[in-house]
Homo-oligomer: A and B are copies of this chain.
Amino acid sequence: MNELQMLRQKNLDTIFNPKSVAVVGTNKVKGTVPYDILDNILKSDFNGMVFPVSPRELSIKGIRAYKYVVDVPDDVDLAILVFPSSVCHMALEQCGQKGIKAVIIISAGFKEVGEAGLMKERQLVDIARKYGMSFIGPNCLGVINTAPEVKLNASFAREMPGIGNIGFLSQSGALCTAVLDYASAKHIGFSKFISFGNKADISEIDLLYYLMNDDPTKVILMYLEEVSDGIALMKAAREVIAKSGKPILIIKSGRTEAGASAAASHTGSLTGKDEICDAAFAQAGIIRCDNIEEMFNKAIAFAYQPAPKSEKVAIITNAGGPGVLTTDAAISRGLKLAKFSEETTKILKKALPATANIKNPVDVIGDARSDRYVAAINAAFDDPDVDGVFVILTPQSMTDIDAIAEDVTKIAEGQTKPIYASFMGEKDVASGIQILQKKKIPHYILPESMCMAFEAVYHFNQHLKIKEHRVPELDHIQGKVARDMMNKFSSNGRSFIPEVETIHLLQTYGLPVPKGRLATSVDEAVQIAGEIGYPVVMKVVSDQIIHKSEVRGVELDIRDEIQAKEAYERIHEHVADIMPDASIKGIYVINMISGSEELILGIKRDPSFGPVVIVGLGGIFVEVFKDVSFGVAPLSYEEARRMIEQTRAYKILSGLRGRAPRDIESVIDALLRLGKMAEDFREIEELDINPLFVLEEGKGSIIGDARMILKRTK
């Protein structure tokens, strides 16, 4: 953490725990933001002092007001700016003069309205730097700290949320109001609630680090429209998760291109490819959610209940149909139905009527009252094969809904295994659901959501157990040779680097290149072929020819000297015919590989996450099945392995239907080396190895073709 970041952590502490707050630019007009902020702070029963700062008023709500913040006689810890954007810089300057270090800028009219706004925003940052201040915003809703020793609602949200252990961060202020309303109806509480707006100074990264050390926060939620620094976000997330074990759930909007352009039109975001974002989040251990509902469904599972030790659950229901639907949902989500022991079966048999289903899913039958539920849940909890219990209820005429809800909360107390519930319906079950929600039993309308939440907690906990991945040391890397080679490419202002040179570069990083060399005469070609042994392949090399096969510049399976001479001449004739202006550097003669599986490997530079390594099934299937997987560099061994395992090609490589298993380790090695290259050479915009021939287990891989695009240095 650099000095500026450390300063922000210190100032964030003041933002959340101020002894005195000035609301700068407030007024007496009810229903306006400048007034609502002041009003909310007072209503939240804040434990410190509040100073209204208003050029026009002597007092507001009976409290002495000051013309300027510098006029306030006491020390001010936190200033909240609600002036119009045109005068914010002057107010901030005064805050600096007053010695205030912590600021929230609520005012809108900055980056989000275009170039002029962006200039104003930069001015704010400059002023903050000058005085060692840090600020949240501009263009935000404010922040809330529910801690009983603080009780600060420094926002224009309609209401103060309840206390809880969820920290919520949002780039969109409007979404905050919907979230608060949603959470309040479901009795979901928060530790911190932060709208960070344009994040001109304090960013989501700073806030992540802050929440890492914030005791009351156990679960971190975030709504993001723009990943401005994906690398930093991943680094921060990894650190937060590793050090604190707190899960991070993020909604990143702009999944589709139209969505991204709508996001751009209102915040000016630059959005990277969505699949890369998926991969990067997964690598960092971030749980990506599609919407608020999904996020909170998972968040309450994390916040309310212990993590399951395995994916094996017991389902207790009073109706067969919903039991089947829940089983379907569980299996689809990768959960398993626990197998009850004889002991459990005996207990259930005794406790339930003869018509009940005592196998998992347990059907306590429509006329069940609470006693049957209690017996079944206890039996399930006691079974060693059960690591989680799902309680399903339909409101039938005999069902004592509230009593069952109460009993579920009692059974859950002190349990080390999680219990979730789904009371189906709406009106009749409403009071029962409220009982569950207040006592922190995760409740779900849909079995799907319940299973998805369970799976998320289980999966995150498995992720936590994995020892920190380390990027392995790679041998045979000639860093200096490669650097010189790359400098030479760039110094000539070249962008497209064709096969032979790309392969030379790859060789310096220990990637498996084919045998062969460039031939500039037919005799040399024959000589090379003789050296490496027939059959060989010949390919034209030219800076102008990107698609060699389109000029018929590739000859395969050349079996002897005569064929070699013919092939050499034929390539020259074809190129002369189809692309007479192309300058031919020579003919690349390499050994011919057969009996292999073909993959595609590559590097792409993502504007947000930086260097990304790609692997997938080669040949025409790349386009048909889009069977590719991404990893942000640098890669650990485990990440490189996961990348391959995630492709369907993995099944083929593993030896399908009596086909020979392939050398997967050599592919992992190639990915690790590509990852290192991508890190070391930021000028690589794209690099394709297509195909990589993967030989049988123990025999390695060989590059079949490669090319590279460098960033143009202007």
- Contact residues of A with B, CB < 8 Å? 31, 33, 36, 113, 156, 158, 170-175, 177-182, 184-186, 223, 225, 251, 253-260, 262-263, 265-267, 290-293, 318-325, 327-328, 330-332, 337, 355, 357, 359, 361, 363, 366, 394-398, 424-430, 445-448, 620-621, 623-625, 627, 648-649, 651-652, 656-657, 659
Contact = CB atoms under 8 A, between A and B. Distances in A.
A174 B319 contact: yes
B425 A177 contact: yes
Contacts of A652: 620, 624
Contact of A625 (B156, B181, B648, B659): B648
Q: Quickly give the copy total for this chain.
A: 2
Nearest to A173: B366
A355 B114 CA distance: 11
B267 A320 contact: yes
Nearest to A621: B621
Nearest to A597: B620
**Which of A255, A318, A621, A624 has the most B CB atoms < 10 Å from its CB?**
A624
Contacts of A627: 625
A627 B430 CA distance: 45
A588 B425 CA distance: 65
A648 B624 CA distance: 6
**Which of A113, A158, A337 has the most B CB atoms < 10 Å from its CB?**
A158
A432 to B, nearest CB: 11
B397 A181 contact: no
Given A158-B428, A184-B427, A322 B256 contact: no
**Which of A36, A265, A363 has the most B CB atoms < 10 Å from its CB?**
A265
Nearest to A335: B258
A304 to B, nearest CB: 18
Contact of A174 (B36, B322, B330): B322
Given A158-B428, A175-B424, A293-B445, 9 more contacts: A174-B394, A175-B394, A178-B394, A181-B395, A181-B427, A182-B424, A182-B425, A257-B331, A624-B648
Contact of A331 (B113, B170, B259, B359): B259
B429 A318 contact: no
Given A175-B394, A426-B181, A253 B321 contact: yes
A325 B259 contact: yes
Contacts of A185: 425-427, 430
A31 B361 CA distance: 27
B182 A624 contact: no
A256 B290 CA distance: 24
Nearest to A366: B174
Contacts of A251: 325
A446 B293 CA distance: 8
A184 to B, nearest CB: 6
A319 B172 contact: yes
A656 B620 CA distance: 8
A184 B429 CA distance: 12
